[in-house]
Amino acid sequence: MSGTSLDGVDLALCRFSLHKEAWQYHIEAAQTIPYDEEWKRRLSEAHQLDALSFLKLHNDYGHHLGTLVRRFMDALTGGNPPDAVASHGHTIFHQPQQGLTFQIGSGATLAAVCGYPVVCDFRSLDVALGGQGAPLVPVGDELLFGQYRFCLNLGGFANISYNHLGTRLAYDLCPANWVLNHYARRMGMEFDKDGLMARSGRLHRGLLEALNSLEFYRLPGPKSLGREWVEQYIHPCMDALELSVPDVLCTFCHHIAHQVSRCLGAQDTGPLLITGGGAHNRFLAELIQNRYPGTTIVPQNELTDYKEALIFAFLGVLRLRGQVNCLSQVTGCSESHSGGVIYRPPGLPPRAHTYSE
């Protein structure tokens, strides 16, 4: 898993079991491999490449992922080879309104380098079926984390998932770490640790009102966001005022908390699970908790940091079993489906008996 905030590649070795129609999971091992400056540059500039250079990056990144997977598995002693690798890749383009989404990291190259079956390209089929291609995590929220009333992910973008009258609903709420990290870098920091800079800043109510008035927030779900929307609407709005970085961070944290509370305020209270890198931003977490009358849970770091990787592994399991891993009511596609492309290296027969247990 690689998120838009460019923290690095999240690797998680996960075990799933199905008992009496209930799924259970265990994260056996997990690690984040930070990007070096060269990979940060290549990924951040990928949307500006010509076609040939883009395809080369697609293959190079697949080779990079395959190498990381192989090293990760080789470092684990006594473990069996995985049934498969589920790869989200790294999103470069996401414009579902134009029928486009692309996550680089060639699955064929990844499989050839690591030597394991690979399930990848989870979003393309959904977009082809008229959906947003996101969010995909709600299937895992429903089947693995159904005990929580709400599942809030504070990643590059904030998204919410919840069960309403027996139907799982989900959509993107607003940008989150993608924007916060962008402005933290102006101070020479990869991110605002614990939200300390944001806490030291002052709320600019004019900017907050301008952000909250953007048209996207008036649209009903299903809906999703991408880098392109941030660059078109968020950055110009925030840069026009020439505020200090702490003031920008403080105001944007209030913006995130406001958009979260708008969603939660329309629902019954119940346990709220908060995960993703933004859960470590104490200032942001406090703003959300102070606005929500129910119980909020920020789990241990392993689940906070690797829940999304865990669920993409689970999406791979569902795809290998031929079961639905994308919900039409969440993405807006024409019908629920089992999305993802499977690559198997030569000499590795399908292990259907494992997938069906």
- Per-residue pLDDT of 37-55, as tens digits, reads 999 999 999 999 999 999 9
Claim to verify: residue 155 and residue 67 sit in the same structural domain? no
Burial class (CB in 10 A: 0-12, 13-18, 19+), 32: middle
If asked whether residues 158 and 238 sit together in one domain, one would say yes
Domain-located, residue 127: yes
Domain match, 118 and 164 both: no
Please report whether residue 68 resides in a domain. yes
Q: Are residues 102 and 150 in the same domain?
A: no
Are residues 24 and 105 located together in one domain of the fold? yes
pLDDT at 266 over 80: no
Q: Tell me the residue range of the domain where 84 lies.
A: 8-131+334-355
With respect to residue 81, please indicate whether it lies within any of the assigned structural domains: yes
Give the closest residue to 207 by CA, choosing from 186, 179, 173: 179
Bin 320: left if φ > 0, else alpha if -120 < ψ < 50, else beta: alpha
DSSP state of 321: T
Task: Specify the number of domains making up the chain.
Answer: 2
The CATH number covering residue 29 comes to 3.30.420.40
Q: Looking at the structure, tell me whether residues 184 and 237 fall in a common domain.
A: yes
Residue 353 banded pLDDT, cuts 50, 70, 90:
very low
Query: What pLDDT does residue 347 have?
Result: 75
Residue 105 lies in a domain: yes
Q: What is the pLDDT of residues 317-344, one digit of tens each?
A: 999 999 999 999 999 999 999 999 999 9
Verify that 93 and 230 share a domain, yes or no.
Answer: no
224 belongs to a structural domain: yes
Question: Is 319 contained in some domain?
Answer: no
Residue 51 lies in a domain: yes
Same-domain check for residues 292 and 178: yes
Are both 192 and 291 inside the same structural domain?
A: yes
Query: Would you say residue 346 has pLDDT above 90?
Result: no
* Distance in angstroms (rounded) separating the CA atoms of residues 239 and 241: 5
Q: Does a structural domain hold residue 320?
A: no
Residue ranges of the alpha helices (H) in 240-332? Answer: 245-265, 282-291, 301-320, 328-331
